[in-house]
Amino acid sequence: MTKSTLLDQLNWRYATKKMDATKVVPQDKLDVIIEAIRMTPTSSGTQPFELIVVTNPDTLAEIQKAAGDQAQITDGSHLLVFAAWDNYTDDRIDEVTDLNVAARGDLPMLNAYYDNLKSNYVPRDAEVNYAHAARQAYIALGVALVAAAEQQVDSTPMEGFDPSKVDEILDLSERGLRSVILLPLGYRDASGDWLLPMKKVRKSAETMVSYVA
């Protein structure tokens, strides 16, 4: 296999269990991770999620309670909350169309494309649309995990929380959003993290990959 910095970074990163509460991720590194999230590709370019960056200690403590007391939420310096649209609406898709028109000009095919998207998405059940939006947020999570590793910032992807409680804490329903995933950022506590010395566990490529040649 060709040597790959990316693979080295993916081996370096791990779902950190214990972060050093005295260390803070510098703004320039945070900016890179956020920009990587912003640049994430999404279905039809709708980017149907928002990112909430939480550093307020009281809010972090409340979220931690809603997440089984996971320590990384308060030991990390920043908590990224990926919050997906609760539904697709005409207005939301029109905003995407406007963004396209502003960047690329008022091409007839653009309007036709997004009109078609609206007629397909908007009548669907809100839960189906939310699930689709949440999948886009997961793509951004993957990109964020890689970006954090590239910046030598530790992170822990988290599904282990009560989304309805986090929605309430952050007033997300009022904004038509639902929390999907949490990502604390910080620095590993090298002597205090039981997971750090452990080997990575991954299926073999033979198990996971098949070829149709």
Ligand X SMILES: Cc1cc2nc3c(=O)[nH]c(=O)nc-3n(C[C@H](O)[C@H](O)[C@H](O)COP(=O)(O)O)c2cc1C
Residues 44-73 that bind ligand X (CB under 6 A): 70
The minimum distance between CB 82 and ligand X, in angstroms, equals: 10
Residues 149-178 that bind ligand X (CB under 6 A): 156-160
The minimum distance between CB 123 and ligand X, in angstroms, equals: 30
Interface mask toward ligand X for 182-201; x: CB under 6 A:
------------------x-
The minimum distance between CB 37 and ligand X, in angstroms, equals: 15
Pairing of strands 78-85, 177-186: antiparallel
**Residue closest to ligand X, measured at CB:** 160
Residue at 164: amino acid letter: S
> How many C-beta atoms surround the C-beta of residue 145 within 10 A?
20
The minimum distance between CB 140 and ligand X, in angstroms, equals: 12
The answer to whether residue 107 forms part of the interface with ligand X (CB under 6 A) is: no
Query: b/e per residue, 36-60, with b = 16+ CB within 10 A?
Result: bbeebebebebbbbebbebeeeeeb
Interacting residue with ligand X among 9, 14, 122, 176 (CB under 6 A): 14
81 versus 158: smaller Cβ distance to ligand X: 158
At residue 57, what are phi and psi to the nearest 5 degrees?
-60, -40
Spatial separation of the C-alpha atoms in residues 84 and 182, rounded to whole Å: 12
Cα–Cα distance list, 124 to 20, 78, 89, 130 (Å): 45, 35, 10, 10
The answer to whether residue 95 forms part of the interface with ligand X (CB under 6 A) is: no
